[in-house]
Structure 1
Amino acid sequence: MRFNAVAAGVAEELLLSCCRSRRWAERVAAHRPYPTLDALLAAADEAGYDLAAADLDEALAAECSAAPHPDAPPAAHTALRAAHAAYESRFGHAFVISLDGVRPAERLDQVLAGIRSRLGNEPEEERVIAADELRRLARSRLTAGIAAS
């Protein structure tokens, strides 16, 4: 796996593109070499579970609210902007959700349903859910990043 051979700074930059917690990226990069992609993903998951509150805040602050597909009707853009604004107002960070396995045509509905269902969560409950979704996103991004390198 090429990831094992790159310089630490290069590995950390790739990792930061997956999850914007500097501590997470440094920890995952420091434990190289990984014998397999599965071992790397397991280490990324473990590091994600160990994020301190400040590290999670750092990662969540760097996430962006996803825009709907450009071909979506104007009403979809409006609905999504309003839902994201309500979520961000309530919880103080962007809504994060992993859409692995969701067909592109269903993603907008999945995001809107996710926001609506999670708006009723208590802030601490939502932090736990957001952290789990962030781990899933990091896993997906890391898999794609390794495949591309």
Structure 2
Amino acid sequence: MAIPVPTQTHATPVTASSLEHFNTTPAEEAVQALLTCLNSRHWAHRLTAHRPYPDLPALLAAVDEAAYDLSPEDLTEALAAEALPALPEDTYAVAHTALSAATAAYESRFGHAFAICLDGMPANEALDHVLEGIRSRLTNDPEEERQVAADELRRLARGRLPDALQGRGAATFRVAGRDLQDDPGL
């Protein structure tokens, strides 16, 4: 299982320029960028369809609302694309074993990937936080856990949105034939 390295995230500032690019970029490109935040096509199309957003708080409110309205199918689609945060490379083998065992137990019980938002979490505390999260959430009933997972996905989407707007997600917005990260105004 390949797991990315957890890092303490620092919110990328969203500028008026990047929000304007999001508001005016072609719909399919906006959808692709949003899918880097939360892999639900319905969620991404809904946010794209409601453009333009006057400011970041309006967009974040729409992100939350659309995430709260995920259908069971949308939630399944989004969870299927999630991966656990990675362990730092110098982590002891026993930690990898513990994380693998906990993840396997979680996925066996609930039938989907474990999602957890580590925004603001120092890297040296991430493993304990993930393991504690898995262990405590294993006691949830499946419907309760889907709600918890949906809330974690919403938090992940909010945290990933600034990078997507700045063109730092897996997809980048292109306006007038240039990538947003090439724009000196960003």
* Same fold flag (TM > 0.5): yes
Would you say 1:9 and 2:28 are equivalent positions? Answer: yes
Would you say 1:96 and 2:115 are equivalent positions? Answer: yes
Residues 14-64 of structure 1: CA deviation (Å, up to 9, x unaligned): 111111111000000111111112211110110111111111111111212
Q: Which has the higher contact order (CA 8 A, sep 6+)?
A: 2
Instruction: List structure 1 runs of 4+ shifted beyond 6 angstroms.
Output: none
Paired residues of 1:65 and 1:96 also in contact (CA < 8 A): yes
* Aligned pairs (5 A) from 1:1-149: 1=19, 2-147=21-166, 148=168, 149=180
Q: Percent sequence identity over matched residues?
A: 61
**Aligned partners of 1:23, 1:11: CA distance in 2, in Å?**
13
**Aligned partners of 1:30, 1:45: CA distance in 2, in Å?**
15
Alignment partner of 2:115: what SS? coil
Paired residues of 1:83 and 1:115 also in contact (CA < 8 A): yes
- Return the TM-score normalized by structure 2: 0.77
How many equivalent pairs are there?
149
Please give the root-mean-square deviation of Cα atoms over the aligned residues, in Å.
Answer: 1.1
**What are the ranges of 5 or more consecutive residues in structure 2 without an aligned counterpart?**
1-18, 169-179, 181-186
**Aligned partners of 2:72, 2:88: CA distance in 1, in Å?**
33
**Aligned partners of 1:64, 1:5: CA distance in 2, in Å?**
31
Residues 105-144 of structure 1: CA deviation (Å, up to 9, x unaligned): 1111100010011011111110110000000001111122
- Return the TM-score normalized by structure 1: 0.95
**What are the ranges of 5 or more consecutive residues in structure 1 without an aligned counterpart?**
none
